[in-house]
Structure 1
Amino acid sequence: MTRPNLINQCFQTKGKNEIWLGNLTYIPTKAGTLYLSVFIDIYSRKIVGWAMGNRMQDQLVTDAFNQAYHRERPKEGLIVHTDQGSQYTGARFQDLLRKKNANLA
């Protein structure tokens, strides 16, 4: 299920931890492919959470988000903007966002 684009490509905020961008990328190595999940705060442009693993699963995204959330302690209503891939739209990540009162954009 896709979500509404709550930020309408406006990548600016008035303060930190209002909008985070989430992304997954792969890193080829001699030993195989690694996957990196990151969350970036739009205001500070800082990586607030990350996780790396050898499988691109929703657990990687939840680990990175949990790291960011525990470090930054954002206020209720955080907007999380992603590419709407299955790792972000799946039940595990959606449940986590609901528990943290965050919104997927």
Structure 2
Amino acid sequence: MEDDAEIYYPPLAPELGYLVEYLRRLDFIEPGAAGPVRLSFTEIRSWALLSGVQLKPWEVDLLRQMSTEFVSEVNAAENPQRPAPWMPVDALQEKQAIARRIKDVLRGG
């Protein structure tokens, strides 16, 4: 990505921003034998105890779900043809249309 390129972030309800910060502080994922895995209950509990954060059960569930989605994106990113997950839909459609036009030109059509 170019240094001056603007990064798109999907809208996030301001009241949920603290959970994204918690996930960042938890490092998003854990290392597993075959690659990254979602955060375990033990990891989240240990972090919360050491950080002095009291999590509600639904917050723990959401952090684990967010971690699961992060692992899915990490794994999917191995495919070089996969679009970036933060790309706006209209930009993605434009990129796909350009790719089709290039293919048509290369095919002589």
From the two aligned structures, give the one with the greater strand fraction: 1
Q: TM-score range by the shorter chain?
A: under 0.3
Structure exhibiting the larger radius of gyration computed from Cα positions: 2
From the two aligned structures, give the one with the greater helix fraction: 2
